[in-house]
Structure 1
Amino acid sequence: MEPTKSGILKFAYSRTRVTRTTISRRLTPRRLPEGRTPMPAAQLDTPTPGLLELDRNPTWFDTASQCTIVLAQPSTEPELWAEYVRGAQLSYHKHGVERALDTGALERGDDTALFCAGINQAGQVVGGVRAKGPYTAVDECHAVVEWDGQPGLTAVRKMVGDRLPFGVVEIKSAWVSDDPEQSRALTDVLARVPLHSMLLLEAQFAVATAAAYVLNRWLSSGGVLAAKIPATPYPDARYQTKMMWWDRRTYANHADPKQVSTFFAETRQVTAQLDRIGRLTSAAATV
């Protein structure tokens, strides 16, 4: 189905630019060399996390939500980013949890490595989420702020610190519109964004924090609740915020098979688009 190219959707689809760098990303985990064994804490591989530069945004049409899904960066799609941020602010304000948003960082967009926006057929942004990282220090992780002064802080710091050498991205600021049917389908899409983020940002782990009832909706993509870390009353005493982790090598063991197959289908589309950009860039460089 051809999505309607109007408003922000037209902006996300139609803008062209000369690519500055060839995008070449591995979309499979690295294996340990023969004879080496993984760390006992988890079967970890050791990718080298790096900064992603998207000169063109991977997009696909999600039939369940009837939305075009766009992966982008704030610096390359400022108008789309502004629409996503506006929606997040309205949604969090409506639920009385605007304290959970880092408003300054959202306005600047400088701590966001990648964001996902869902655009309906009227050209409106109706949901999204962002990814931060890969981190180089424990204190970069917002979970440290959320557990500050709480019994679980030491365990949170250890979980993040143990995984830093293997790449950690953090999933933040998720929101969906109030349309019940569309929001359910779009939540499934957003639950797959940690998987896309780990691949594109070359990290083995993704972490998210939210109230347990919210995270339960994200279990379908293979996230695992950190059950031994006590909940924290964040952003206030009305909420019991928990921590969830995705492991790039084991998420499929915990995920809904439909979510896994849908993610693989999306990955094929993303890979094809990035490969095509790489070929065009290589061709341009030889002219």
Structure 2
Amino acid sequence: MTVETIAVGQEDPCHGRAVSFRDNVSGYDIRVTTPNHSPELWRRYLDGARAAYRHYDNEPALEYDAVIDGSSTALFFAATDPAGEIVGGLRVQGPYIWVSEVGSLTPWAGRAGAAELSLMMARRIPRGVVESRAVWVARDAARRNELAAAISRCMAHAPRILGARYGFATVASFTTERHRASGGVLAQLIPPVPYPDERYRTLPIWWDTRTYHVFADKLQYLLMRGELRAMGLAEPRSRRSHRLFGHGEEECYAYGR
């Protein structure tokens, strides 16, 4: 099943400048910019991603040659240590216009859940969908777990920076708790797929900028509020008096089944 729809427009996400914040838990600085604005940083981020993906023998999933020119990347996040070395980051695509643009849906083609996942994407695209890709954290980074949590929060920040409602990613099953802590919700009833190979079980996950604060863990939410302020962005509503229908699966229409 192929579903196409029209997306919202996009403005310059960084307003011609880079923005940044410090992760107060891991101590790393995280810069948000575009390949055009910061080409040297972009190359260093992507080379770090290639080294990380190569270590785990899944470099083809990075699509390095296809993305190195930066044209498919709306913005990227790069975490740096005090010496200026890049120790992690991610890049963001979108907002999408067509479901067929979302190449990360391909692993579900011909499998259970493919039609449902395409429909989820089609329902959201008119309100804006951006996708986090090439996510990595250096294996030898100090406070690596804390840095990984900060990178997950960046995945939640991406749609707000780009003026979209939804963030999307396909993630390894062993990382889902970290992403849930930042307000991510697993797509309901979509079975995992063995991607990029049989060693992994990959799942789709969503962030809704209107409601992720309801699902996020308290500490992560507080950190996210501070990071948004540091980037000069409006904070999400802080009402946290209830959880919609549960933390585990995507069960409210606000996330759109």
Scaled to the shorter chain, the TM-score interval is: 0.7 to 0.9
Aligned pair count?
226
Q: CA deviation at 1:238?
A: 1.8
In the alignment, structure 1 residue 60 sits paired with structure 2 residue 27 = no
| Percentage identity across paired residues of the two chains | 36
In the alignment, structure 1 residue 113 sits paired with structure 2 residue 74 = yes
Aligned to 1:32: none
In the alignment, structure 1 residue 236 sits paired with structure 2 residue 159 = no
TM alignment of 1:206-221, pairs within 5 A: 206-221=167-182
CA RMSD of aligned residues (A): 1.6
TM-score, normalised relative to structure 1: 0.75
In the alignment, structure 1 residue 171 sits paired with structure 2 residue 124 = no
Aligned to 2:40: 79
* Structure that is richer in helix per residue: 1
Aligned to 1:50: 10
Tell me the amino acid that sits aligned with residue 195 of structure 2.
Y
In the alignment, structure 1 residue 183 sits paired with structure 2 residue 140 = no
Does the aligned pair in 2 maintain the 1:51–1:113 contact within 8 Å? no
Tell me the amino acid that sits aligned with residue 215 of structure 2.
H
Find runs of 4+ consecutive structure 1 residues off by over 4 angstroms. none
Distance in 2 (alpha carbons) for counterparts of 1:195 and 1:72? 16
Tell me the amino acid that sits aligned with residue 160 of structure 1.
M
Larger Rg: 1
Structure 2 alignment gaps of length 5 or more:
1-6, 234-257
Distance in 2 (alpha carbons) for counterparts of 1:270 and 1:238? 37
Distance in 2 (alpha carbons) for counterparts of 1:62 and 1:232? 32
Q: CA deviation at 1:180?
A: 6.0
Structure 1 alignment gaps of length 5 or more:
1-46, 273-287
CA distance 1:49–1:196, change in 2 (3 Å): farther
| Greater displacement, 177-186 / 214-223 | 177-186
Distance in 1 (alpha carbons) for counterparts of 2:11 and 2:65? 22
Distance in 1 (alpha carbons) for counterparts of 2:201 and 2:190? 12
Distance in 1 (alpha carbons) for counterparts of 2:72 and 2:177? 26
Aligned to 1:60, the other structure's residue is in SS state: strand
Aligned to 1:69, the other structure's residue is in SS state: strand
Aligned to 2:240: none
| Greater displacement, 80-89 / 151-160 | 151-160
Tell me the amino acid that sits aligned with residue 268 of structure 1.
R
In the alignment, structure 1 residue 151 sits paired with structure 2 residue 112 = yes
TM-score, normalised relative to structure 2: 0.83
